[in-house]
Amino acid sequence: MQEILVAIQKSAMRIKKAIDVKDIGYSQEQNSSGETQLQLDIQCDLIIEEELSHVASVHTLASEEKEESMLINKDGKYLIGFDPLDGSSLVDVNLSVGSIFGIYKNDFTGANMIASCYVVYGPRVELVFAYEGKVKLYLLQAGDFEFVKEIHLKEKGNLNAPGGTQQNWEPYHKEMVDSFFQEGYRLRYSGGMVPDLHQILLKGGGLFSYPGTSDRPEGKLRQVFEVFPFAMIFEFAGGAAIDGKMRVLDQTPKHVHDTSPCFFGSNYEIERVKTTYERV
């Protein structure tokens, strides 16, 4: 596991450089599908693939950027699902983005995830690693990831990060989101899953939701690359992650790119989500 963490750290340093030097977002010539960003996504994908494929214990890699997973070493014991540059549409406006990793054994199911990790590329580069029941925060300082502290959520927070197109929210979902605001919760939503969840984790709690909507009944966020890794982090930090009714880590995706509605938070907020969604 240590060698996987080291490979992720090396990738993170290379991705940080790629983000910093790439000429993005300022040119009017960029096409409407964001061609330049796509190139950066692919560059980050290649960096991670290169670093992780050198690790002997890696069996399979599955990237958010690729349709199918890739066998690396048939004698390896870990499967890694990763999103190389999550929130990449935010790079051109200079908001924080991230990389997410889920480390699995045997298959890409929530039950078989044994560690997870994400990196935030913001004003500083931070890395969060969840393993053996602990969630540890590291800060990149002069080429090294220094351990900062363990992350623990409070029972109740005060931040509300509601994702999805509001127009397509179910009425009961809107009511629930509003109920938190009425209780004094503050809106914190940048549109990048990594920094939005990082903020909730480091400020002690709150709720991040990406529900099923009328246009996307299964939500937007991908189980293997996004939802499961953060679910483990929230659970180990003392919070919870559900799809409305059940633990997301009890889910079994049919395909590596499957999505799921998801709610991450401290216990108080997740209880409210359950009560709301139980009635549906």
Site for ligand FDP, rule CB under 6 A: 86-89, 163-164, 191-193, 220-221, 226
Give start and end residues of each alpha helix (H) in the chain: 2-21, 35-53, 171-182, 193-202, 228-236, 267-278
Point out the residue whose Cβ comes nearest to ligand FDP: 193
Complex with ligand FDP: residue 163 or 229, whichever CB lies closer: 163
User: Cβ 163 to ligand FDP, closest distance in Å?
Assistant: 4
Gap between the Cα atoms of 37 and 158, Å rounded: 33
User: Cβ 25 to ligand FDP, closest distance in Å?
Assistant: 13
User: Cβ 215 to ligand FDP, closest distance in Å?
Assistant: 10
User: Cβ 29 to ligand FDP, closest distance in Å?
Assistant: 21
Which residue type does 210 have? Answer: Y
User: Cβ 76 to ligand FDP, closest distance in Å?
Assistant: 27
Could you tell me if 233 and 128 are in contact, meaning their C-beta atoms sit under 8 angstroms apart?
A: yes
Complex with ligand FDP: residue 264 or 277, whichever CB lies closer: 264
The helix/strand/coil state of 138 is strand
Complex with ligand FDP: residue 193 or 231, whichever CB lies closer: 193
User: Cβ 34 to ligand FDP, closest distance in Å?
Assistant: 10
Gap between the Cα atoms of 217 and 148, Å rounded: 39
Neighbours of 122 (CB within 10 A): 15
* Both structure tokens of 184: 């004094």
Buried-exposed string 45-77: b where 16+ CB fall within 10 A, e elsewhere: bbbbbebbeebebbbbbbbbbeeebeebeeebe
Complex with ligand FDP: residue 153 or 193, whichever CB lies closer: 193
User: Cβ 130 to ligand FDP, closest distance in Å?
Assistant: 18
Gap between the Cα atoms of 50 and 185, Å rounded: 42
Complex with ligand FDP: residue 59 or 222, whichever CB lies closer: 222
Complex with ligand FDP: residue 154 or 216, whichever CB lies closer: 216
Q: Among candidates 162, 163, 190, 9, which has minimal Cα distance to 91?
A: 190
Complex with ligand FDP: residue 89 or 109, whichever CB lies closer: 89
In DSSP notation, 167-208 reads GGS-HHHHHHHHHHHHTT-EE---S-HHHHHHHHHHTT-EEE
User: Cβ 147 to ligand FDP, closest distance in Å?
Assistant: 26
Complex with ligand FDP: residue 59 or 198, whichever CB lies closer: 198
Identify the residue whose tokens are 């605001």. Answer: 181
